[in-house]
Structures are given as C-alpha cells and as structure tokens.
Amino acid sequence: MIVEVGHFALVLALALALVQSVVPIWGAVRGDARAMALAGPISGGQFLFVAISFAALTWAHVVSDFSVVNVFENSHSTKPMIYKISGVWGNHEGSMLLWVAILALFGALVAWFGRNLPRTLRANVLGVQAWVAVAFYLFVLLTSNPFARFAEPPMEGRDLNPLLQDFGLAVHPPLLYLGYVGFSIAFSFAAAALIEGRIDAAWARWVRPWTLAAWVFLTLGIAMGSYWAYYELGWGGWWFWDPVENASLLPWLAGTALLHSAIVMEKRDGLKIWTILLAILAFSLSLLGTFLVRSGVLTSVHAFATDPARGVFILGILMLFVGGSLTLFAARAATLTKGGLFAPISREGSLVFNNLFLTAATATVFIGTLYPLALEAVTGGKISVGAPFFDMTFGPLMVPLLIALPVGPFLAWKRGDIAAVAQRLAVVLVLSIAATLVTWAIRGHAVLPALGVGLATWLMLGSLAEIAFRIKLFSQPAGALRRAVGLPRSAWGTMLGHFGVGVMLLGIVAESAWKIEQVLVMKPGDHVRIERFDVAFERSVPNSGPNWDEVIARFRVSDGTSNPPVIMEPSKRSYRTRSMPTTETAIETWGLFSQLYLAIGEAQGDGVAMRIYWKPLVLLIWIGTLIMSIGGVVSLTDRRLRVGAPTPRKAAAMALPAAAE
Amino acid sequence: MTRKQKRLTLIGFAGLVLAVAVGLVLFALNDRITFFTSPTDLAQGKVKPGTRLRLGGLVEDGSIKRGDGTVVRFRVTDGVNAVPVTYTGILPDLFREGQGTVAEGMIGADGEFKADTVLAKHDENYMPKEVADALKQSGHWQEEAAKATPKK
Amino acid sequence: MLIWALIAGMTAVAVSIVLVPALRRRPEASGPAEAGEMSVYRDQLAELDRDVDSGLVGAAEAEAARTEISRRLLRAGRRGPATAADGGSRFLPIAAALLLPVVAVGLYTRLGHPTMPDMPFAERKMAAPTAAPGAGQSIEDLVAKVVGHLAANPDDTKGWDLLAPTYMHLGRFELAAAAWRNAIRTGGPDERRLTELGRALTAAADDVVTPEAREAFTRAIEVAPSAVLPRFFLAAGLAQEGKKAEAVEAWRAIVAMAKGDEPWLPDAREELARAEADLTGKPYVPPVATPASPPSAAPAAPGPSAADVEAAALMSPEERAKMIATMVERLKDRLNGSGGTIDDWERLIRAEKLLGRLDDARATLDRARAALSGDAAALVRLDALTTGLKP
C-alpha cells in the first residue's frame, strides 16, 4: 500500500505540474495576479508529493519489497542497509525519480526565495520550470516507472551491480543531479526573460546564486565520480575522457562560463544576450548528459543498463527544450536591449576572454564526444575518440585561459591598466619561473612537467596576490585585517576558486608526469621495490561479507625508514547473486597528498597478478576541486546573493552602510 | 579606442580563438582517433599493420593462454573469423571466455594483435555497441540473450 | 479500503493547493512594488560606499562608478515598475482544480495496482511454508565464525581444514582454493589437501583442469603415489587438452592400478572406453556424471545405479545416448512433479549443461530457484551453477 501511495503521489505531482505549466503563464500574459499567485503554492505541493513518492520507493528498497520490479532488479535481502538506501538511485528508474525530486525541490526553493521577484517574472520562471517537470514526470511514469509491480513476486532480488555498492557511488549521482537540475533554474529564468522580452542587471543577480549552487554541486559530483573511478575500477586512472564523463564536463564548462558572464551583466549591464544563450546551453548540455547516460547511444564503460525506447523519449525532450528555447531565443533576442562594448584591457574584457576560451573548449569536448556518433550515422564508420584527441584540443585551449586567469581579477572595470597589473604580479611571475627552473633541475630535466608546475604556482600565488593587494597587506599592513574582514565574500570566493584550479593543476601535472606503475605476478614471500617502498606479499586469505566473498591478498609495506610497516590488503571480491567479480584496491596515503595504490588481478598459481602504482601528489587533484567548491559556497554566502533580491528596506539604509551590516 | 575599433578587436579575437579551436579539432580528428574493426575486417586485410585501432568481438572459448608473468594470449572472434591477441597486464574483472571485449592496440605484420588496453563490459547485461553490431552482422546475435532481464 | 481513503485524501490536498489561493478574496500580493532592477542599483551604491569606507576603492574610482550606477538607476526609474492588475479571473484556476483529480486518478488507474499489498521481505520469509530459516543461516554463521577466528589466528591448520570443505560445499570454489592453500601453508602438503585444492581449482574453472590444478594433482601423487583421485582428474585434463592418446594411456594406467574390487574401477573402465572411442573418432557420448566428477564425489542416490551404468557400457552409442536422455527426462518429471533436494536439481542442471541443452538448463535453474527459494544455502549452490549459462 505504501508503494501504491508513492505511485499515486507521483501521478499527483504530474497533475499539479500540468496546472503549474499553464495557469501562471496565462496569468502573466493576461496580467492576472490571481492566476500568477498559484505558481508558488503549486511548486510547494509538487515537491511535497514527489517527496512522498521518493520516500515510498526508499521504503520499498529498505524492506526489500520484491513485488516492486525496481527493487527486485537492484536489491537483495542481504545487501547492507546503506546500499539498500543508495540503491534507490543506483539504478535507472530510481535515479530518474531522484532527478524529478530535485527538480521539484529547486522549483519549491525558487518559489520560496523568489517571493520578492517581480510578479510576472516569478510566474513565468515557475511556469517554465513546470514544463521541464511535466516532460520528466511523463518520462518516469511512462518509460521508467519505478513503481512497476510483479503479479507473482520473486522471493529474492538480483542485487545491485557490485560496482555501485560503494559509498562514492552513493553520493555521486545526487550531487551530479543537483548540478544538472540546478541549471534548469538558470534556463527557466532565461526562458522567462525571453518571454517577457525584458532583461536587466537584477535578472543577473537573481540567476547567479542558483547557477553558483548548481556549479558547486556539479563540481563536487564530477570530483566524486572521478575519485570513485580511481579507487574502485582498479585502473589507477582518474579521468578517461569517457563520453559519460564528458557529458558531465560539458555543462560544467558552460556553467563556469555562465557564472563569469553573469558578473559582467550585473556589474556592467553587458553580455546580456550572450548570458541568456549560455543559460540555455548549460541546461541543454545537462539534458544531453542525461540523454547520453540513459539512452546508451554512446559506447561507454559507464553505460549500465540502457534502453533505446527511453533514449528516444529523452531525445524528444532534448529536442523539444533545446529546439524550443533556441527558437524562442532567435525570435526574441533582438527585442532585448543590448549592452555596450568594452575595452579589451578591462575586467569585463578579461571575462569575455574567459568566456571565449571556455566556450571554445566546450565545443571541442562536444565535438569529440558526439563526432563518433555523427560519423557512424552518416558513413557507418566506427571510430573511438579518446584521450589523445582531447589532449590535443582541450589542452592547448586551457593553457592561455590559465595563464590569463590570475591577471583578470587585477584589472579594473571599464579600463584596466596592464602595466600596473604587470608590476603587481612581477613577484609572482618571478617565483613561478623559479618554481619551473627548480622543478626542471631536480626532476630529470623534463620540460613540460616543469612548465606545468610553474603554471600551477602562477595560478596559486596569483590568486593569493590579488587578495593581498586588495587588502594592502604589504603596503599598509596596519589596516589589512580590517580590510580583509570588510572584503566581500564573493572576492574570497573568487580567490578560493582560482586557487583551487592551481592546486588541481599541480596534482594533475605531478600525477601524470611522475607516477610509477608496475604490473607483475607475485607469490607469497616475494618482495618488490617501487619508489622508496618495499612491498612484501605475505599470503592470500579468504573472507566473506554479507553478500559477497573475497580473497584478500595481504601485503606488508615499509617505506625504507624506521616507521612501522603498513599492512595493505587489496582483494578480489565476488558478489554471490550476480557472481560478478570486482577489484577492491588498497590505497595508502603518504605525506598528506601522495598515494601508494595496490590492485590485484586474477590468481595465477599461488601467486597473483597485480598492479602497484606510486601516485605523487595525486590527492591534490580532488583537494583542488574541493577548494573550488568551497570558493563557490563562500561566494554564495555573500550578502548580496544570500536572498534572491534585496528588499526595499535595505535601500533605505543606503546612507548608513555601516549600520546596515 | 573608438567603438568601432573595440568591436573589431572583439570580433577579431573571437575569430582567432575559433580558428585555433577549429584547427586543433581538425588536426586531432585526422591524427588522434582510433578506428573500430572486427576480426573479419582484419582477416580481409582492410587494415594496414601498424595502425592503431580497436578490435571488438567475443573472447573465443578456450582460447585464453597465460604466458610468463602477466602476458596473456587469447583470440577475439566475431563468429566468422578470429584474431590472436597478446596483452601484457591485468585483464579487467569481467573479462571472460565467451564474453564481449574491446582490445585497443596495433596489428603486427605477423597477424597478431598487440593490445595495450583491454576493456570488458561493466555489467552482465551490457555489451559494447560495436561488438553487438559486429555480431549482428555475422549472425551470431541472439535476441533473447540480449534481454536477460525478466520483465513483468 | 484504506488505500482509497489515502488516495482521496491526497487528491483533496492537491486540489486545495490549487483552489485555496484561487478562491481567496484578494490574491496574495507578490513581488515588490518597484522594479527589482532599481533595488539592485541601490544595493550596488551601498556596496560602493562600504568599499570606500574600508579603503578598498580609491575616491576617484568610486566617484566614477557612482556616476555610472546612478545613471542606470535613473534610467531604470524612468522605465517604471512592471504593472499587473490585482485580482483577476477565477475561471481558469477552478477549471484546473476540477480537472486535476480526473487526470491524476485516470492516469493512476491505468498505471498502478491499487489493491496490491506491500510485500516486505521479512514478512514473506516468515509466511513462506517451504522456507527453512536457520538451516541456511547456520552454515553462514559457522563460516563467519571460522573466518573471524582465522583472521585472528592465521596459522590454525584445523580451522583452514574445516573452512575449506565448507566453502567447497557452498560452491564458493575460489575461496575453497584459497583456504586449502592456507591449510597447505600452515599444515604442510598432504594427499587430501593437494587433491582438494586441485578439485577446488578445477571446479572454479568450470570443471576445466587448469595448469594450477594439474600442478596440485601432480604434487598429490608425489606425496602419495597410490592416490587414485588425482589421477582421475589428470586423465580427464589430458582429454580436455585434446591429448587423446595420452588420456587413453592415463586411464589404462589407472585401470592397471586396480586389484579388481575397487569401487571406482567401473568408472575408470568406462572413462577408458570413452577415451578410446574418442581417440578412434567414434561418436562421443557423455555420461551423466561430469567427466571430472570422481567416484568419491559422485552423488550417492538416486543417480544411475551400477546396473544402469553396466548396461550402458554394453549398449551402442545411440542407445546409450537415448538412455541418458530418458534418465534426464525421468529426473526432470520427478522434480517438476514432487520437487526434490538441491542435490537432485543440481544433478539435472549439470546433466543438461553437459548435453548442451543450455536453454533447458536455464529454465531448470529458474524452476529450482523458485522451488528452493526459502533455502539460502541451496540458492547459493544454484548460483554457482549459473557459470556458463549467462548469455
């Protein structure tokens, strides 16, 4: 009965979304306040019912109700409780229910925080949001219904794909979806602006926090997915340029561009049409990502269960929203007032530079991901586009962007003084060159890694220098602390975001240039040396978990000092229900950021085939992304962004800014 | 700068970035992609030795032979032809005889495929699309086998 | 019917969400009176003042910025606020509120199963009469206990000797092999451990005698030259490798070892006959038991009796094939009719696999799963049989 209540609640949410997609927009067109006012309560109601629905499915998973097809296919009575819960969204149907639940959550949040938005804008935004919701409710109910039942339920379930029975994968999809779906808000605002034919600086300010929140979640989601692939797949890689990974990178790149262009729009009243286009693109690419993952049109190591019928449905949704919004854009963009042009050397000029390179990079990833598909459709030829393509295209486009990155925040609005900036950054430049030379000298005279370290240093020190100069840390150290406190949070957010890029780059450079890999067969009693470590294979021992068995290989690792040796136990696990083996790696962190990584393959005699990696500074890759996300959160707490729009009361306090604090 | 000059600078710069991006993409598409082939394509001599490519098919039953250390030899078949493959390293978890696989590497002059990467499906119901296509072409595709999941 | 009451209640809530704001005398005032744009510019001015105050912006720059923001503020003020009439028609909201239950209930009755109860696993397990809770559980508990003990005392030979056959019985062959290796490591190689290690490795490889298994059997013979079981496997392994002549030699050697009254002798003779037939290219007829299943591992009952086997030895290959098929049918009928033990099901599935009837084997497996669904240990053994059956 609980299951059926959940099912009905989902249908009710669809019905409410249908009302919400028509009535408020009709009200906005007619200037009917009564109809427009409906949007808010209905958004809340939609979320209420989707939440009931999601709770019901979770309940079915928790109690292993195998009369629900979705539970039967993805769960097992012996599965640990945490994976019974994460299994709710660890499969297609459940993850789409999570998708619509997050969409409804964002809709309700817009309704709540947007109470002081202009009436018509609010009605239009929530109306467009409901269009997206209707499409996805229909998708879930008609092609991917998580509440389908068995007339004669089986006694035991088929268990969740073992690769997904992992903490990383329990949190990766919700984060990613919070990001994907968060861009729907920017999309709805863009569509609403086009419908109204009116866009101004306030619009940018309302959109920016939503975009920023979505961007933070997407950043964390991508990083989490990357770390999962690193430790769970046992290949030691952290990014494969796999189509599904690219599918999450595309909206991230577009979203990053959108974040930056929205600043120009708010501060300088420029780049309006461009920002609208980016908002449409970011969400379209999110939809594309959902389509690529869910339809299986692209060969991917990630492509878990896929189904062409669903693919066609999502393709329909994709074309409807991308096509529809771009048509709307073409028809209405001309009616929007255009902003002015800028001097090339200025803050806004640097943000245009950022947008140019980010969108060009987005385009190369887009082409690399979809070209094989297009080629096959046109000529039938089959190709695969992998890391070499992206290294050749995406890489070179990132370099000028990263070199210019620390310079941008130093430039003043309207007219920057490049000479003054050069003077301020001179010390940073000298230090970066020194870092390059030192790396070159002590790390075997390799040029590219040394330049990479130099660039990372430039990014990290450059971001710090900007803050240092703004608070006059060196010229007037006396008041620096007071100025640092008074600095807007968004400035700190910018610094952290840019600093994180440098940290991540350092990790990437160190990991790719100096990792050590050994593949070998070891028998009990064997020793092997890798970097400064002595790895000794002691023995293999069997072990059993709730729904799996494993053979653990026990290693004793000493780091060549007097430190006590560390026991590392990678294992080969076999999940009983699916009789599917997985590799459980053993990873040990040395000196904060570097890791020793052990993965075993199949047994050979009484020995095992195994991989040993030494990954210097590898953790910096994810720490860097974490810092970037923290930067986003700090920026989000900026007073200006905390509420969707400032209340008129605040304007009255204008004369006494200190009192308003 | 005048308004016109600003506009020209912007357009010129955007054009330059676009041109560089297009150039890079075109160059990389010529040089940095790998073609997908089936064992039959190889048997018909459609591929020159020394080109990098992906080979997809099923791992032939009983063909996995281990050599010294981590050297593995096996044959990839599409039901019509089979190609011997050597690989040094650790095979993926789900690499099994009779299952779909994709090997990436080069074909040697002796007709042996030297793989540096071997991929296997990640899910028991999943088969690389290229492999499925290759098998369909050679008539070794079983529809019921592709739909192992019981439906209501 | 509680479910209908809940559906009605939820529908009422949804309808009221639409209806209540629609019926309100004055619509809720929403949105600021002035255009949001102006408040943004005011806020920018305030921020600028704050920056000047804290010394972040120079006075000249601030003045220029203030002029520009003020200019925009004025322009926004001239545009005036977006106007919207208060009040409005009630028709559309009420129509929507009335249509809502029709759409929701209509769609739900097509998709849902309102009368179907929830079926949590715990309740069904208690209700299932065939389920034997505890029977399957105790073995798992035992394994967990022994594994825990061995983690603390990895050198306890007795523990490994106990754990390994348990794993073997549960069909977890790779784990059994690892356990036997540990037993050999701590207790030294003897005939039983080496032979069982070989068996575990063979079973793990889908009844193929792998090089590792061969090594284990060979060492078993070195330790105990009179051992027969390892020789059975080695001979079967030779046949698998296609070394037909050597296989025949091996079986001959085994038969020659017998004094004449050993229980395994008939099987050895049969295998020899089969190997010879294979060598000379006569039609190949598989026996019911797997080639690698030696006499000691053969099921006690109710397989083919000794007389059946003897009779089979005298028949022509065609007759023999027919007899085997009949036996499989008989077993199948019995299992489908009155059910049977896990051993029976296992034998039928193995036989069907050997005869190459993979679809039948799959179907049997599904029926066995349904019939034995309450027995966790049996399900585990059935899972072990799925190798080679997956598409």
Q: What would the pLDDT profile of C80-126 be if each residue is shown by its tens digit?
A: 555 545 556 778 888 999 999 999 999 999 998 888 888 888 887 77
Instruction: Give the gap in angstroms from C-alpha C208 to the nearest C-alpha of chain B.
Output: 10
Separation between Cα atoms, residue A437 and residue C140, nearest integer Å: 61
Instruction: Give the gap in angstroms from C-alpha B124 to the nearest C-alpha of chain C.
Output: 8
Is the model's pLDDT at C56 over the cut of 80?
Answer: no
- How far, rounded to the nearest angstrom, does the alpha carbon of residue B83 sit from its chain's CA centroid? 14
Residue of B nearest to A395 (CA): B24
Is the model's pLDDT at C29 over the cut of 60?
Answer: no
At A430, the pLDDT band (50, 70, 90 cuts) reads very high
Is the model's pLDDT at C356 over the cut of 70?
Answer: no
Q: Look at B123 and A149 and tell me if their CB atoms are within 8 Å.
A: no
- How far, rounded to the nearest angstrom, does the alpha carbon of residue B68 sit from its chain's CA centroid? 26
Can you list the positions of beta strands (E) in chain B?
A: 33-37, 52-59, 65-66, 71-77, 82-88, 100-107, 113-120
Nearest CB to B7; choose among A306, A341, A601: A341
SS3 track for A227-269: HHHHHHCCCCCCCCCCHHHHHHHHHHHHHHHHHHHHHHHHHHC
At A299, the pLDDT band (50, 70, 90 cuts) reads very low
Question: Residue A656 has what pLDDT?
Answer: 34
Work out the number of other CB atoms within 10 angstroms of the CB of residue A450. 22
Name chain C's partners: 3 or more CB pairs within 8 A. A, B
Element spanning B23, H or E: helix B3-31
At C16, the pLDDT band (50, 70, 90 cuts) reads very high
Calculate mean pLDDT across residues C199-217. 84
Is the model's pLDDT at A378 over the cut of 60?
Answer: yes
Residue of B nearest to A67 (CA): B152
Dihedral angle computed from the Cα positions of residues B51, B57, B60 and B63, in that order, rounded to the nearest 10 degrees:
30
Q: Look at B129 and A356 and tell me if their CB atoms are within 8 Å.
A: no
Chain A contact probe: residue of C7, C54, C98 with most A CBs at under 10 A? C54
Instruction: Give the gap in angstroms from C-alpha C227 to the nearest C-alpha of chain A.
Output: 22
Q: Look at C390 and B148 and tell me if their CB atoms are within 8 Å.
A: yes
Residue of C nearest to B147 (CA): C391
> Which of residues C339 and C132 earns the better pLDDT score?
C339
Q: C390 — contact with chain B (CB < 8 Å)?
A: yes
Name chain B's partners: 3 or more CB pairs within 8 A. A, C
Q: What is the DSSP string of A22-87?
A: HHHHHHHHHTBHHHHHTHHHHHHHHHHHHHHHHHHHHHHHHTT-TTBHHHHHH--TTS-HHHHHHT
Is the model's pLDDT at A643 over the cut of 80?
Answer: no
Instruction: Give the gap in angstroms from C-alpha A383 to the nearest C-alpha of chain B.
Output: 4
Question: Residue B148 has what pLDDT?
Answer: 34
Separation between Cα atoms, residue A64 and residue A76, nearest integer Å: 7
- How far, rounded to the nearest angstrom, does the alpha carbon of residue C341 sit from its chain's CA centroid? 22
DSSP C72: H
Mean pLDDT across chain A: 87
Calculate mean pLDDT across residues A642-649. 38
DSSP C90: S
Contacts of B118 in chain A (CB under 8 A): none
Question: Residue A419 has what pLDDT?
Answer: 87
Dihedral angle computed from the Cα positions of residues A241, A242, A246 and A249, in that order, rounded to the nearest 10 degrees:
-70
Residues 6+ apart with CB under 8 A from A285: A247, A250, A251, A254, A362, A366
Q: Look at B144 and C390 and tell me if their CB atoms are within 8 Å.
A: no
Instruction: Give the gap in angstroms from C-alpha C241 to the nearest C-alpha of chain A.
Output: 18
- A530-551 burial, b at 16+ Cβ within 10 Å, e below that, comes to bbebebbbebbbbbbeebbbbb
Q: Are A40 and C30 a contacting pair, CB within 8 Å?
A: yes
Contacts of A147 in chain C (CB under 8 A): 111-112
> Which of residues C40 and C25 earns the better pLDDT score?
C40
Separation between Cα atoms, residue C364 and residue A279, nearest integer Å: 56
At C137, the pLDDT band (50, 70, 90 cuts) reads low
Nearest CB to B142; choose among C211, C390, C391: C391
Contacts of C391 in chain B (CB under 8 A): 142, 144-146, 148
Angle at A291 between CA A289 and CA A292, to 5 degrees: 65
> Which of residues A83 and C264 earns the better pLDDT score?
A83
Q: Look at C39 and A470 and tell me if their CB atoms are within 8 Å.
A: no
Q: Look at C87 and A34 and tell me if their CB atoms are within 8 Å.
A: yes
Q: Look at A12 and C11 and tell me if their CB atoms are within 8 Å.
A: yes
Separation between Cα atoms, residue A57 and residue A70, nearest integer Å: 9
**Cβ within 8 Å of A, C 30-49:** 30-47, 49
DSSP B88: E
pLDDT under 50: residue ranges of chain B: 123-126, 141-152
- How far, rounded to the nearest angstrom, does the alpha carbon of residue A211 sit from its chain's CA centroid? 12
Instruction: Give the gap in angstroms from C-alpha B83 to the nearest C-alpha of chain C.
Output: 21
% of chain C with per-residue pLDDT over 70: 73
Residue of B nearest to A581 (CA): B93
Nearest CB to A393; choose among B7, B24, B90: B24
Give the pairing type, strands A594-604 and A566-568.
Answer: unpaired
DSSP A607: E
Residue of C nearest to A62 (CA): C120
Contacts of C110 in chain A (CB under 8 A): none
Neighbour-count burial of C370, counting CB atoms closer than 10 A to its CB (0-12 exposed, 13-18 middle, 19+ buried): exposed
Instruction: Give the gap in angstroms from C-alpha A295 to the nearest C-alpha of chain B.
Output: 12
Calculate mean pLDDT across residues A220-227. 93
Peptide bond between residue C302 and the one before it cis (omega within 30 degrees of 0):
yes
**Cβ within 8 Å of A, C 72-91:** 72, 76, 81-90
Residue of A nearest to C92 (CA): A23
Question: Residue A203 has what pLDDT?
Answer: 86
Q: Look at B10 and A299 and tell me if their CB atoms are within 8 Å.
A: no
Give the pairing type, strands B71-77 and B82-88.
Answer: antiparallel
Question: Residue B145 has what pLDDT?
Answer: 37
- Tokens 């030699």 appear where? C249
Q: What is the pLDDT of residues C158-181, one digit of tens each?
A: 888 888 888 887 777 888 888 888
> Which of residues C109 and C330 earns the better pLDDT score?
C109
Q: Are C189 and C219 a contacting pair, CB within 8 Å?
A: yes
Is the model's pLDDT at A393 over the cut of 90?
Answer: yes
- The least confident of A142-151, A197-206, C299-308 is C299-308
Instruction: Give the gap in angstroms from C-alpha B6 to the nearest C-alpha of chain A.
Output: 6
Phi and psi at B25, nearest 5°, equal -65, -45
Contacts of B24 in chain A (CB under 8 A): 364, 392-393, 396-397
Phi and psi at A383, nearest 5°, equal -135, 165
Question: Residue B65 has what pLDDT?
Answer: 85
Q: Which ranges of chain C does DSSP label H, i.e. alpha helix?
A: 2-23, 36-53, 59-79, 91-111, 121-127, 135-152, 157-169, 173-187, 191-204, 211-223, 229-241, 244-257, 265-279, 306-314, 317-338, 342-354, 358-371, 376-384
Question: Residue C132 has what pLDDT?
Answer: 43
Name chain A's partners: 3 or more CB pairs within 8 A. B, C
Phi and psi at B123, nearest 5°, equal -145, 145
Question: Residue C28 has what pLDDT?
Answer: 54
Report the DSSP beta bridge partners of residue C390: none
- How far, rounded to the nearest angstrom, does the alpha carbon of residue A131 sit from its chain's CA centroid? 24
At C320, the pLDDT band (50, 70, 90 cuts) reads low
What does the block give as tokens for C291? 């080639």
Chain A contact probe: residue of C3, C18, C217, C375 with most A CBs at under 10 A? C18
Separation between Cα atoms, residue B135 and residue B56, nearest integer Å: 10
Nearest CB to C35; choose among A118, A155, A483: A118
Report the DSSP beta bridge partners of residue A642: none
Size of interface A-B (CB pairs under 8 A): 138
Instruction: Give the gap in angstroms from C-alpha C202 to the nearest C-alpha of chain B.
Output: 14
Q: Are A65 and A150 a contacting pair, CB within 8 Å?
A: no
Q: Look at B31 and A610 and tell me if their CB atoms are within 8 Å.
A: no
Q: Are A387 and A240 a contacting pair, CB within 8 Å?
A: yes
Separation between Cα atoms, residue C276 and residue C274, nearest integer Å: 5
Instruction: Give the gap in angstroms from C-alpha C348 to the nearest C-alpha of chain A.
Output: 21
Work out the number of other CB atoms within 10 angstroms of the CB of residue A374. 10
Q: What is the pLDDT of residues B105-145, one digit of tens each?
A: 888 878 889 998 888 765 444 455 555 565 555 555 444 33
- The least confident of A53-62, A228-237, A318-327, C341-350 is C341-350
> Which of residues A223 and A116 earns the better pLDDT score?
A223
SS3 (DSSP) at C263:
coil
Highest mean pLDDT among A383-397, A424-438, B24-38, C82-96: A424-438
Instruction: Give the gap in angstroms from C-alpha A471 to the nearest C-alpha of chain C.
Output: 7
- How far, rounded to the nearest angstrom, does the alpha carbon of residue C316 sit from its chain's CA centroid? 42
Separation between Cα atoms, residue A204 and residue A193, nearest integer Å: 11
Q: What is the pLDDT of residues A86-103, one digit of tens each?
A: 999 988 889 899 999 999
- The least confident of A95-109, A527-541, B61-75, C376-390 is C376-390
At A21, the pLDDT band (50, 70, 90 cuts) reads very high
- The least confident of A435-449, C32-46, C200-214 is C32-46
- How far, rounded to the nearest angstrom, does the alpha carbon of residue B78 sit from its chain's CA centroid? 14
Q: What is the pLDDT of residues A574-604, one digit of tens each?
A: 887 777 788 899 999 988 899 999 998 877 7
Give the pairing type, strands A571-575 and A527-530.
Answer: unpaired
Query: How far lies A367's CA from each of B8, B21, B26, in Å?
Result: 28, 11, 10
Q: What is the DSSP string of C154-208?
A: TT-HHHHHHHHHHHHHTT-HHHHHHHHHHHHHHH---HHHHHHHHHHHHHHTTS-
Q: B145 — contact with chain C (CB < 8 Å)?
A: yes
Calculate mean pLDDT across residues A616-630. 96
Separation between Cα atoms, residue C379 and residue C387, nearest integer Å: 14
Q: Look at B146 and C390 and tell me if their CB atoms are within 8 Å.
A: no
Question: Residue C205 has what pLDDT?
Answer: 78
Q: Look at C151 and A541 and tell me if their CB atoms are within 8 Å.
A: yes
Residue of A nearest to C175 (CA): A542
